[in-house]
Amino acid sequence: MNIWLLHPFAGGPELGRHWRPFWLADAWGKMGHRVVVVSAAFHHLHRQPRVPGPQRINDVDFWFLDTPRYGIGSVGRLRNNLSFGPAVRLAAPAIAAQFGRPDLMIASSPHLFFISAAHQVARHFEARFWLEVRDLWPESIVALGMTPAWHPLMKVLEWKERSAYRAADHVICLLAGAEAHMRARGLPAGKFQWVPNGVSDDEIQSALTIENLGHPLIDRINLLKQQGRRVVLYAGGMGPPNAVEAILDAASILGDANYGIDFVMIGSGTSRAALKQRAALLANVEFHDEVDRSVVHRLLCAADCAVVAFHKNALYHHGISPNKLFDYCLFAPRSVIACEEQALAGLEDLVSARCAPDEPGALAACLRAALDGPARPRGERIAVARRYSYSTLAAKYLTHLRDQA
């Protein structure tokens, strides 16, 4: 079967974040399908712009579309987003000539501006059209306070969201509890499927030998532990969706109580400077720049515990599926999450402990209890991770086709 997977911000080796399209394509290729990932040649998550056209990256075929470059600011990024759909239409004949006409076209939606174009191209080729929903637009933007609900752009996105649900033959969502939201906006019954994020099979295998990797930050964590400190690691985005403020406030509580717990914060994001300022007087908190995935994994192994936090927000009642949660499970001896119980539905086996969101005292107590308790055996963590391996998820993804056969 020929599969076209459209994702404007697709990542992978030497590309940058958002590896899910790469891992799914790799797994489907090993299952015998022919897959091409169609993405933008330029976007803000790329390490560097790509040359438009076909490229093969670690046995996965990509086709990069010529999209306009932009700097800091929303206008240029919006222009880039709007250009992706027309670029898909323009490139479709060339992609089909090289990789074959699609039998299945999947549009993965970090934004909605290209969905109608993808649907039109799928219908032209008489292909099935599936929609993968990563975040709920425009609800995510509104619920996180990024744009008011009355904004004209939100009204446009709401219309596009409803149109996308009507157009799709099948909808895959990363959020376990999102079906009711979609049904209320026009998704017919029987079209919803939950497929969360996961971990690659290669990374599961690497969990057996990851201790051999060296890096200055690993040396730093080992030094702290040699000094009798226990190390809590946060590795991920530092922007509004992540309640990093709660982690810093929990660090302050634990520092004041002199429990000997240090926090190592790794990552980038729009809130990083403000977070560093918030933690400026905390002797048990240090910030470091973003590093490669393999280094993050080794750091998780070296730390005593990993932590992630979300704000209390009705948005998360639909569920969460952060990549870091799967990495934490596989590589960290303990992992703690601050979120509402409903948010974690379906993913409870990934974490060592959960506490209420936006309560630094509760998070501090949860971290201390986890650190005082036993580490989760590596064999148990690997067994859990295998349930979320991309070979398993890729097969689950296509079960709808087998059910219809």
Helix (H) or strand (E) holding 362: helix 360-372
- Report the pLDDT averaged over residues 359-370: 98
Locate 175 and state its tokens.
């959020």
Share of the chain above pLDDT 90, in %: 81
Say whether pLDDT at 193 is over 60: yes
| Distance, CA of 159 to CA of 321 (rounded, Å) | 25
Say whether pLDDT at 181 is over 80: yes
Long-range contact set of residues 92-100: C-beta below 8 Å, sequence gap at least 24: 92/121, 92/124, 92/125, 95/4, 95/36, 95/38, 95/63, 96/125, 98/54, 98/63, 99/2, 99/4, 99/34, 99/36, 99/54, 99/61, 99/63, 100/2, 100/34
pLDDT of 92 reads 98
String of DSSP letters for 34-92: EEEEEEES--TTBSSPPPSEEEEETTEEEEEE------SSHHHHHHHHHHHHHHHHHHH
Upstream peptide bond of 138 is cis (omega within 30 degrees of 0):
yes
Strand 53-57 relative to strand 60-65, pairing: antiparallel
pLDDT classification of 57: cutoffs 50, 70, 90: very high
Which amino acid, 375?
A
Query: Between the CA of residue 365 and those of 28, 43, 294, 351, 353, what are the distances in Å?
Result: 43, 40, 30, 16, 11
pLDDT classification of 18: cutoffs 50, 70, 90: confident
Counting DSSP H helices and E strands in the chain, the numbers are 16, 14
Note the pLDDT tens digit of each residue in 287-342.
999 998 889 999 999 999 999 999 999 999 999 999 999 999 999 999 999 999 99
Half-sphere exposure of 184 (CA within 13 A, CB side): 7
Note the pLDDT tens digit of each residue in 265-292.
999 988 999 999 999 999 999 999 999 8
Say whether pLDDT at 203 is over 60: yes
Q: What does the mean pLDDT of the chain come to?
A: 94
Strand 34-40 relative to strand 2-6, pairing: parallel
Query: Between the CA of residue 209 and those of 71, 200, 203, 235, 378, what are the distances in Å?
Result: 40, 15, 10, 20, 12
CB 350, CB 387: distance < 8 Å = no
Residue of higher predicted confidence among 397 and 71:
397
Q: What angle do CA 52, 81, 127 make, to 5 degrees?
A: 70
CA dihedral 238, 241, 242, 245 (to 10 degrees): 90
pLDDT classification of 371: cutoffs 50, 70, 90: very high
| Distance, CA of 160 to CA of 165 (rounded, Å) | 9
pLDDT of 206 reads 83
- Report the pLDDT averaged over residues 222-238: 96
| Distance, CA of 65 to CA of 78 (rounded, Å) | 16
String of DSSP letters for 211-273: GG---HHHHHHHHHHHTT-EEEEEES--STTS-HHHHHHHHHHHHHTT--EEEEEE---TTHH
Share of the chain above pLDDT 70, in %: 99
Q: In whole angstroms, how large is the CA radius of gyration of the chain?
A: 21
Say whether pLDDT at 139 is over 70: yes
| Distance, CA of 271 to CA of 240 (rounded, Å) | 7
- Give the number of other CB atoms < 10 A from CB of residue 74: 11
Query: Between the CA of residue 12 and those of 9, 106, 254, what are the distances in Å?
Result: 10, 18, 37
- Report the pLDDT averaged over residues 380-403: 93
pLDDT of 261 reads 98
Among all chains, which residue has been given the structure tokens 């599969």?
3
| Distance, CA of 164 to CA of 166 (rounded, Å) | 5
| Distance, CA of 114 to CA of 7 (rounded, Å) | 10
Give this prediction's pTM.
Answer: 0.93
pLDDT of 84 reads 97
pLDDT classification of 404: cutoffs 50, 70, 90: low
pLDDT of 17 reads 81
pLDDT of 378 reads 92
CB 185, CB 162: distance < 8 Å = yes
pLDDT of 240 reads 82
Residue of higher predicted confidence among 94 and 214:
94
pLDDT classification of 405: cutoffs 50, 70, 90: low
Which residues have a Cβ under 8 Å from the Cβ of 303 and sit 6 or more positions away?
A: 221, 231, 232, 233, 264, 332, 333
